[in-house]
């Protein structure tokens, strides 16, 4: 019965997520668009093309079907339940792009991905600046009919000038291809769904279950620690909305390790910092919107995994009061990444999508990357400034000099009986004794406001973003 149920659910989800609605994305040419710390003012054909290339070059990881059966289950697709895992994969993939690829790398084949037909409009009034259409990157995937331009303030008929191909970007293509194989949908892939589901078992999760952004952060940490394919990179997950600098130094400074025998080897590991937070109660607290914008403006930010209620997304930027995102809710056939010259097209999206900040689920995980010690120090300074822009008394999270208690992934297990994980259980949110216990176990150097911050947090099983009755 379980096998039959899984097959029926898979068939339904394959249909549900196997098509795409043909729709235009709304932008305007007055306000800048921010993508991964870079700003694009879409008032010229060249700027629109720069924005297009920056968007298309992001790694897009979606639902897949017909992959090898997940161990201990009957699932051969993650449709309907794996969207948060896919969003987490995209966050990690962005970190790996920054870690491995040349600075400001652009996928050379992005220019041939689709025929581009831009629409450029000037808002009729500043009040409407957030919702007037301009660029579309061509027809949505799955449509063979080219879209017609709307007649208003068009780009020149010749279209935007193509960006001259950079030899450096072309030379980096083998790394790009290798990186995508690490996210392949087969058991050996170190960051594929099979491995992430296997790692999630230590927190009581299994294929088909709901995953929250906090648990996915710990799964990614453990996956990178376990993998041998990525050199000189560590992942740190913040505790109780606090980044403990001493813990990051201990994780990254290889000179502190007795195993660092080669004096010529690099002494500081690059680091991806993941910070699970909750930006309000049942809905997003509007006071945090400006702070989130300022975080997304930073080059050290590699995105946010979260979404809207019942729908996980990967946020990569914004324009005005709308977030720009990549959506994993599109079911594609599995790609055999073990084949030479496998197609890369399905790993890149040509349809930018936006949604209002007001629809953002308050539970999310924010990602940052620092290449070396100097970058980490700059990151701490820049992010702290961004955090101070919040209108709330307490910031979203904080940096402190001390060291915290390592709960690890197992701290999120439903049957865990040790110290409370980052997100306190629902029944204990407002009890003073739980706040006291949280503060007592926080480790050295913890700032006094974090216990108050914890009172706003929900349990991880409520923070997960469900995309159907099948899971998140």
**Annotated catalytic sites, by residue?**
83, 327, 329
Rounded Cα gap, residues 190 and 88, in angstroms = 14
> Among 271, 239, 281, 246, which residue's Cα sits nearest to residue 397?
239
Q: Using CA atoms, how far apart are residues 111 and 122, in angstroms rounded to an integer?
A: 25
Nearest-angstrom CA–CA distance, 472 and 465 = 5
C-beta of residue 318 within 8 angstroms of C-beta of residue 154: no
Strand partners, 301: 368
Q: How far apart are CA 472 and CA 460, in angstroms?
A: 12
Q: Which of 202, 182, 201 is nearest to 192 (CA)?
A: 182
Local structure of 163: helix, strand or coil: coil
| Secondary structure (H, E, C), 145-159 | CCCCCCCCCCCCCCC
Torsional sign, CA 303, 304, 305, 310: negative
Tokens read off for 385? 């400034």
Determine the Cα–Cα distance for residues 288 and 108; give it in Å rounded to an integer: 37
Residue 165 near residue 108 (C-beta atoms within 8 A): yes
Q: Note whether 315 and 325 are within 8 A (CB).
A: yes
CB-CB contact of 468 with 80 (8 Å): yes
CB 452 within 8 A of CB 398: no
Helix extents (H) in 185-337: 193-200, 213-226, 245-252, 289-296
Structure-block tokens of residue 398: 């904080």
Give the containing element (helix H, strand E) for 282: none
Main-chain dihedrals φ then ψ at residue 134, nearest 5 degrees: -130, -85
- And the tokens for 375? 């970058």
Token pair recorded at residue 143 = 């449509």
Alpha carbon distance 119, 150 (integer Å): 6
Distance in angstroms (rounded) separating the CA atoms of residues 279 and 109:
38
Residue pair 35/349 in contact by the 8 Å Cβ criterion: no
**332 close to 62: Cβ distance less than 8 angstroms:** yes
């Amino acid at each position: 019965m379980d096998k039959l149920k899984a097959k029926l659910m898979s068939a339904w989800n394959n249909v549900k997520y196997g098509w795409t609605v043909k729709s235009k994305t709304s932008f305007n040419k007055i306000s800048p668009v921010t993508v991964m710390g870079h700003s694009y003012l879409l008032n010229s054909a060249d700027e629109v093309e720069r924005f297009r290339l920056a968007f298309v070059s992001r790694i897009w990881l979606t639902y897949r079907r017909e992959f090898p059966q997940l161990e201990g289950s009957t699932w051969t697709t993650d449709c309907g339940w794996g969207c948060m895992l896919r969003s987490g994969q995209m966050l990690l993939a962005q970190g790996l792009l920054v870690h491995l690829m040349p600075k400001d790398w652009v996928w050379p084949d992005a220019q041939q991905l689709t025929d581009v037909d831009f629409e450029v409009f000037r808002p009729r009034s500043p009040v409407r600046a957030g919702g007037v259409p301009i660029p579309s990157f061509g027809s949505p995937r799955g449509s063979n009919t080219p879209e017609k331009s709307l007649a208003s303030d068009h780009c020149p008929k010749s279209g935007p000038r193509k960006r001259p191909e950079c030899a450096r970007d072309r030379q980096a293509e083998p790394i790009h291809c290798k990186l995508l194989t690490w996210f392949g949908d087969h058991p050996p892939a170190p960051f594929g769904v099979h491995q992430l589901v296997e790692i999630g078992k230590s927190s009581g999760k299994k294929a088909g279950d709901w995953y929250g952004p906090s648990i996915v952060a710990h799964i990614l940490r453990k996956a990178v620690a376990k993998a041998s394919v990525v050199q000189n990179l560590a992942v740190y997950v913040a505790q109780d909305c606090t980044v403990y600098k001493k813990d990051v130094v201990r994780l990254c400074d290889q000179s502190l390790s007795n195993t660092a025998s080669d004096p010529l080897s690099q002494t500081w590991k690059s680091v991806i910092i993941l910070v699970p937070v909750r930006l309000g109660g049942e809905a997003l607290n509007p006071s945090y919107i400006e702070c989130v914008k300022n975080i997304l403006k930073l080059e050290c930010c590699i995105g946010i995994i979260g979404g809207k209620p019942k729908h996980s997304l990967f946020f990569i930027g914004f324009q005005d009061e709308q977030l720009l995102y990549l959506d994993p809710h599109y079911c594609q056939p599995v790609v055999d990444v073990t084949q030479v010259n496998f197609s890369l097209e399905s790993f890149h999206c040509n349809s930018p999508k936006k949604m209002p900040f007001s629809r953002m689920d308050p539970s999310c995980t924010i990602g940052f990357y620092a290449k070396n010690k100097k970058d980490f120090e700059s990151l701490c300074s820049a992010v702290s400034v961004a955090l101070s822009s919040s209108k709330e008394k307490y910031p979203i999270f904080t940096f402190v000099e001390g060291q915290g208690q390592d709960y690890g992934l197992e701290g999120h297990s439903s049957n865990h009986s040790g110290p409370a994980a980052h997100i306190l259980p629902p029944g204990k949110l407002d009890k003073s004794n739980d706040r006291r216990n949280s503060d007592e176990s926080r480790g050295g150097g913890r700032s006094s406001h974090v216990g108050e911050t914890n009172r706003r947090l929900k349990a991880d099983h409520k923070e997960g973003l469900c995309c159907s009755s099948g899971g998140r």
